[in-house]
Structure 1
Amino acid sequence: MSSPQLQPLTVLLVSSSGLLPGSDRSLDAADPMIDAERSDSADGALERIEANDAEDDRIDAVVCGHDPPAVDAVEFVTTLRKRHRELPVILLPGDGSPEFVEGALAAGATDVVQAPPSSVSPSVLANRIRQFVRPADSAGGSPNDASGAESNDQTSSEDAPTDDHISVLSGAVREIRHAEERDAIATVISDAVRGILDAPGVAVFLFDDRDNLLRPAAMTDEMCEYYGGETVFGPGKPDSITWRVFVTGDSLLFDDLRESEACVNEDTDARSSVFVPFGEHGVVVASTDAVGTFSERSLEVIELLTTTAEATLDRVESAENLRRRDRRRRERETRLAHLERTVDLVASVDRALVDAESREAAEAAVLECLVEDGEFDFAWIGGVDARTGELTPREWTDGGGQYLDDLSLAVDDCDEPSCRTARQWQPVAERNVAETLDGDGWERDALAADFHSVLSVPLVYEGVQYGVLSVYANRPGGPTEPLASVLDGVGKTTAYAINTIERRLSMLSEGVTELELRIEGVDDVLNVVAESVGTTVDCLELRPWPDGSTAIRFSAPDVSVESVLSATSGLVAVHSVTHVGGNGAHCFDAVVGGEMVGSVVAASGGVTQTVTADGRSLVVTVTVPDSLDVRTFLDRLARRYPDTELLARRERESASMARGSFLQRLESSLTDRQLEVLRTAHDQGFFQSPRDATGQDVADALGVSQPTISHHLRAGQGTLLSLLFGEE
């Protein structure tokens, strides 16, 4: 194929600094038919263009940089277009922003190369210039609107670009520049290459950085046949020219592809082929079934497209990275906002529980905190009535009372999340009520009340269920997993607060109910010891410790010390046991891990008075304060110990008393002298450790002998301890 006869061109390079790597003269070297002139200012360039009256002194195209104030590309193009609307102007702004590109094109720039000038090949730029310079003999006259130019004696070769090709190329460049998606860019390149080069086989491969593979983003059916179905290249894939070109970054032109050693399909019908990489983004491949179809001009056409594509893909990926970072930032801000709301919610619940003086006040305060947060539209707390088996609401917020009235909350028969939580003692969430809509179930009542998501959590502390907390929202999808976990914690905290309030009220209660209970089938340390030594074991004292273990003192009559120590030595739950003496029955102090009946009684709201084990069952005497309903206490205990039998019930006054009553009892039990001695000793620091005053100091203060002070101190302390430990 003969070499094309090129039209001589005069190109004006406008920049206050060099535009091309090496020197601007490299453009002349890349295309000897181009005469490159240079102007270092916009004003100078405009004067040169205005002076081109003679045809042999005419400027055919302008390449302009952007380095204000000497050269402001957009301002230059705007001024130029007032006189010369058709003169091709190609801008090389460096890393121009999308806003700059839009402004330049709107001002009338013919093309904008979105790549650093140092990376622009002079030959590619020369080819790009020729794509936009219309031949002098074509319709429409010369590029700078000079009319009547005679046709050039030189004729275009068969592979010189036609007006139609220039139009396709220009349109493709514009489409690529404005594209926002990788696949769209690949499609434009594929269509343009096929249209301009008349190539049946065209493929655009894009690099997938998730698995480091080249994958076809646009491919004609003919090209798929040329490749023989093997169209993904990279590590672990067959060796191929496509992957080699991508890795090396060098374009390749083959007159006959089958003569290549790295042809992936040895039986391919592809002959003349061109492979052009575009940076780190991918490779463009064009093929025909004839030998020698493509030339260096074909290569330059594709390089023109890939240069624009590379710059556009850089912009697209940069914009996508910005969007991704912005999206991650918004997500972090959203998570932070949720975290702050969650912290505020937990803090408000904690404050409300600390301030509450009754169970009713505590539950109402928690519900108010939950709906005030705005995450939920309705909340309620209920407890299971052991006599009816129904979940009975105790406290609720506004906006859902009718919903509760319409429901039948039989725990064993109802699938409403609150009832399922009461059965399972586990949180239950329905994040989209409409998804489970079936028949005439609770879901229809919930949707009628505009409740689209539900979360129920148990109120459990120390193995005792104090009720169920349920929250509802008028939108699907909530609450999120982190918030659901927080609400589960709120349920536990509320249960602990209820237990604390009941214990405090029990201490202040003037009356108590004494219950005698038999509990069968209890795997308790006392029962194990009683069965082992063959006698009853009485628990004399029981004190829970913060680490979850329990300190107990128990007695075992008519047995040897060794038999008791032997019975406890093999028990994993017994951390330690010590013989402490005793009259008639040996007494032992032990520290026991795991659950004890006394701890369950305390968690249920009662106080253990005595425990007797016979190896088969426990007989427990407990007191329940007037502030706690006996039936509620028994229901809680029965959930842990189903085989509990009430043997006796007695009403009696509480052994505990308020501070005022205690002081009255103390003052009435002490003599005036004893009270005076105790108060003086306390004020002087006699009871501090180390002591701030001795017995002699107290005696001197009261004007009595030291032995007298010692006598009154012992007598007064004895009376105080008797009142404290309930001894009359």
Structure 2
Amino acid sequence: MNERLERAPIGVLEVDRDGTVTAINDAGSELLDVDPEAAAARTINDVFPRSVEDTVPNAIGETIADEQSVEEYYPELDRWLEVSLVPTDESVTLFLRDRTAGRRTERTNDRLRDDLDRIVVLNGLISEILNELIDASTREEIAETICERLGESDIYEFAWFGERELGDDRIAVRAAAGTTGRTLERVTEHLDGPTTVPEERAVETGTPEVIESVGEDPSVPESVRRAAFADGLQSLLAIPLTYGTNVYGAVGVYASDRDAFSERERASFATVGEMAGFAVNATRHRNILLSDTVVELTFEITDAETPLVAVAAEFDVTLSLDGLVPQRDGRPLCYLSVDDEPHRVANALTVEDAVERVRVVADYGDEGSVELTLGEGTPLGRLSTRGATVRSAKYEAGSGRIVIELPPEEDVRRIADAVTRTFDAAVIAKQQRERSTTTAREFRDELRDRLTDHQANALRTAFFADYFESPRESSAEDVADALGITGPTLLYHLRAGQRKLLASFFDPESDKTGVELEESEEVREGN
């Protein structure tokens, strides 16, 4: 080999016509990972690595006549090589160039294009799911929407929707779509068994569970692994249905590709889980609102470790629940009436572990009200996070009573167990009662009777003058001038009227509240 080829930046290999290697330069020996001295006098089959087609050794063995070039992958080297074969009468010279970096870049670009195409399809699916979840009025519609959109798509094999029963940890299959094969049957068998499937773990932790190889992952029950292998399934993503700290169930999505769920896909599915959880929560509350009949449960709480029972006993006071606002984090915001020294009661509540914040709203000395946030690990917290509507609660020395409402189709025993198994508590009353129906006209007529003329005129004028718009089209002074009254008088009438409007909607004792307000306002409005 001449000096110029010896120093060439590309690999050079000289081979006799009988296939014997006569020379190899340093670049060639490095590319082929061979010792240049040991390579000399050996056959091309011994020196050159194997490829699928073995194009280079075969071409030399067939006494190559014309110059040719080939690019192949060599598994032993984990490299792509471009080999140009230049024949002469007595030998063949091979010029070797490493094309691995370019090939890998090309494969990366192809993979990114495939991922982008997949994300475009997935975003379209998720957009459809979210739009349909907004209009879903039942949990069955929610389950079917998610399963049909995912399970019948081109990128996933099947999907199933499992919902946790009210007041219980077990999961029931609500819907499935796609080619479920034997895998879903085996998953269903394990839902009530001693071993857990990934979907159950997603519910327990509230975080997505990803299995990159279903058939090999030891955390998947063996019967499920076998079924998935037979059905040609490799990847699984279990998505929890979350709303605040509540986890209502999970969606299992199965794919035929290994490592099918990228980080971006998981993030997109997390949004689906949150929206589905919100929709399930909304339908559960809607069932209560629209049901003609409700089941009413009364609990007696004697657990001295619960904060409200403990404080009521310590100070011999009565605490009455005026209102409860469920929070997404599972900690209900409560408003309590206190019949004695509210500041003293508030100070005692602040040191309770299950109470997260306390504020005195009103203090009239011998009575008042407080605002507090309870932890989920309290009777009220547990009931509010399980979809029950808390109608009333009252705590006196030694015990408390909580009244809740449930739609008749819910499993009453399970939600009762969620309280009685955790706290010293018992269900002391259960009844199913019909709800009285009030038409919109009846509601307006009843409310109109409660409003005084001054309040009705102030509200009506402010409404039509766009005082309640944002931004306002009329100021308080504009509305007051139109009515011929002062600004403070207008604001007083507006607040009194709004109080009655809100009491009619939020206060279960609104009839009583309306009478008390009217009696207290007659004197003021007469002045």
- Per the alignment, residue 356 of structure 1 pairs with 136
Which residue, 387, 391, 394 being the options, matches 1:609? Answer: 391
Q: 1:499 Cα shift? A: 0.6
Shift of 1:490: 3.0
Pick closer, same or farther for the CA change 1:320–1:539 going to 2, 3 Å. Answer: same
Match of 1:400 among 158, 180, 204: 180
1:620 aligns with 2:423: no
Q: What CA deviation, in whole Å up to 9, does each residue of 1:254-280 have, x standing for no partner?
A: xxxxxxxxxxxxxxxxxxxxxxxxxxx
1:411 partner SS: coil
Q: Which residue of 1 aligns with 2:216?
A: 435
Asked whether 1:690 is paired with 2:511, we answer no
Q: For the residues of structure 2 that align with 1:183 and 1:696, how far apart are their CA atoms?
A: 93
Query: What TM-score, normalized to structure 2?
Result: 0.65
Amino acid paired to 1:432: S
Could you tell me how far 1:399 is from its partner in structure 2?
3.1
Determine the structure 1 residue equivalent to 2:367. Answer: 586
The answer to whether residue 255 in structure 2 is matched with residue 473 in structure 1 is yes
Alpha-carbon displacement from aligned partner over 1:446-488 (angstroms, at most 9, x marks no partner): 4555544444343343443422322223455544565456545
CA–CA separation in structure 1 for the residues paired with 2:195 and 2:410: 27
How far the C-alpha of 1:395 sits from its partner, in A, is: 1.5
Q: Could you give the per-residue CA deviations for residues 230-273 of structure 1, whole angstroms, max 9, x where no partner exists?
A: xxxxxxxxxxxxxxxxxxxxxxxxxxxxxxxxxxxxxxxxxxxx
- Which structure exhibits the higher relative contact order, with contacts defined as CA atoms closer than 8 Å and separated by 6 or more residues? 2
Correspondences of 1:281-300 after superposition (within 5 Å): none
Match of 1:533 among 298, 303, 315: 315
User: Per the alignment, in what secondary structure is the counterpart of residue 254 of structure 2?
Assistant: strand
Identity %, equivalent residues: 21
1:664–1:586 CA distance, 2 compared to 1 (3 A): closer
Unaligned stretches of 5+ in structure 1? 1-87, 93-110, 117-131, 133-164, 196-307
- C-alpha contact 1:389 1:411 (8 A) present in aligned 2: no
Work out whether residues 513 and 649 of structure 1, in 8 Å CA contact, stay in contact via their aligned partners in 2: yes
Alignment TM-score, normalising by the size of structure 1:
0.49
In the TM superposition, what are the counterparts of 1:130-529 in structure 2 within 5 Å? Answer: 172-173=22-23, 182=30, 184=32, 186-192=34-40, 315-316=97-98, 319-384=99-164, 391-400=171-180, 404=184, 407-419=188-200, 427-435=208-216, 441-480=223-262, 483-484=265-266, 486-518=268-300, 524-529=306-311
> 2: distance between equivalents of 1:424 and 1:185?
51
| Rg (Cα) greater in structure | 1
Q: Check conservation: 2:343, 2:363, Cα contact below 8 A.
A: no
Q: Of residues 421, 427, 441 in structure 2, which corresponds to 1:642?
A: 421
Instruction: Report the more deviating stretch, 321-330 or 660-669.
Output: 660-669
Q: Is the 8 A contact 2:183 2:224 kept in 1?
A: no
1:554 and 2:336 matched: yes
Pair 1:413–1:422, CA change in 2 (3 A): farther
Distance 1:381 1:553 in 2: 37
The answer to whether the 8 Å contact 2:233/2:255 transfers is: yes
- The 3 A distance-change label for structure 1 pair 537 and 460 is same
The residue that corresponds to 1:162 in the other structure is none
Q: Report SS of the residue matched to 1:441.
A: helix
Residue type of the partner of 1:622? I
Aligned residues: 448
Alpha-carbon separation, structure 1, partners of 2:16 and 2:497? 115
Deviation readout 1:545-602 (Å, 9 max, x if unpaired)? 6787654332344x5456424413434644342261358x522323436436545433
CA distance in 2, matches of 1:454, 1:188: 50
CA shift for structure 1 position 516: 1.2
CA pair 464-412 structure 1, distance change in 2 beyond 3 A:
farther
CA distance in 1, matches of 2:499, 2:352: 39
Q: Check whether the contact 1:512–1:654 (CA below 8 A) recurs between aligned residues.
A: yes
State the AA in 2 paired with 1:642: R
Q: Do the aligned partners of 1:574 and 1:591 also contact (CA within 8 Å) in 2?
A: yes
Call closer, same or farther: CA 1:674–1:574 in 2, change over 3 Å: closer
CA RMSD of aligned residues (A): 5.2
Residue 189 of structure 2 aligns to a residue whose secondary structure is coil
Residue of structure 1 equivalent to 2:348? 567
Which residue identity does 2:30 align to in structure 1?
R
Matches within 5 A, 1:103-122: 114=8
Secondary structure at 1:693 match in 2: helix
Letter in 1 for 2:109: R
Question: Against the structure 1 CA distance between its residues 333 and 617, is the aligned structure 2 distance closer, same or farther, given a 3 Å change threshold?
Answer: farther
SS of 1:470's equivalent in the other structure is strand
